[in-house]
Every structure is written in C-alpha cells, then in structure tokens.
Structure 1
C-alpha cells in the first residue's frame, strides 16, 4: 500500500515505527536510506491530510458563519 492510500492514523503509526526503529538502531545501514525516504513520504501524506482537513473545516465554519453569524446564541 502506498503512502497516498494510508489513512492519517496509519501513516502516523508507520512513521512512529520507523522513527522508533531508527532511534533504537534497529535499521541496518543497507536500508536506512529507504526508511528515510519512506518516512518523508509519510510526512508528506500527513501534511496533505491535515491541509485538506483544515480546508474542509474552514469551509464548514465559514458556511455556519454566513448562516448563523449574526444571531446571538440561543436565538432561532
């Protein structure tokens, strides 16, 4: 499964695994560069998901502001 297909949670979990392995010196030097490339791709995926989510939330909030922005809390 490519990093583009991973959910945010799965990407973070895999990134944590890679970082833990590197931190504990469990990554052989032969595959270190490969793991770093994978980690970079996972970081890009996480950033993309966060950016998309932020945009969606902002759109919803702007819509709510347009619909209800002038009303006091508790008014219908």
Structure 2
C-alpha cells in the first residue's frame, strides 16, 4: 500500500499528525503501533515534540497579534 518509509516511520508520522489534530485516541493508537513496529519510546517522544513545536506556531502567532492589538491602548 505505502512505498515510502517503513511501518515504524509511517506510524511516527501518524503520531505527529494526530498530535496536530489533537485526536487523543489516534495519538494513543499510533504511538502503540509505532512501538510495535520497531520505533523506540524515544522516537515517539521526539515525534510528539516535533508536532508540539509545529502546533505552538499558531499560538505564538495569534498571541503576538493579540499583544499587537492592545499595544495602542494607553
């Protein structure tokens, strides 16, 4: 079905996607599948941190916009 990467790599990518979409059931399922396919717990943790950093980008941007909008208020 998939010709790119091994199963563990694909499941780690699925963990990252699940973290960014905030699907707790998907996160747990794909994390277990990744480890069962040969990924280490450290690999899963790193995938989660990458996705978390990507997810934080929106929060930082929106927070900056909020601060910018109140900067003019005295």
Distance between the aligned counterparts of 2:68 and 2:56, measured in 1? 18
Q: Which has the higher contact order (CA 8 A, sep 6+)?
A: 1
Tell me if 1:3 matches 2:22: no
1:54 to 53, 56, 60: 56
Matches within 5 A, 1:10-21: 10-11=26-27, 13-14=28-29, 15=31
Distance between the aligned counterparts of 1:69 and 1:62, measured in 2? 10
Alpha-carbon RMSD across the aligned residues, in angstroms, is 2.7
Deviations 1:8-28 (A, max 9, x none): 2333x144x58xxxxxxxxxx
Deviations 1:25-74 (A, max 9, x none): xxxxxx8xx36x2x2222111101111122220111111211233337xx
- Runs (4 or more) in structure 1 with deviation over 3 Å come to none
Q: How many residues get paired?
A: 54
Runs of 5+ in structure 1 lacking a partner? 19-30
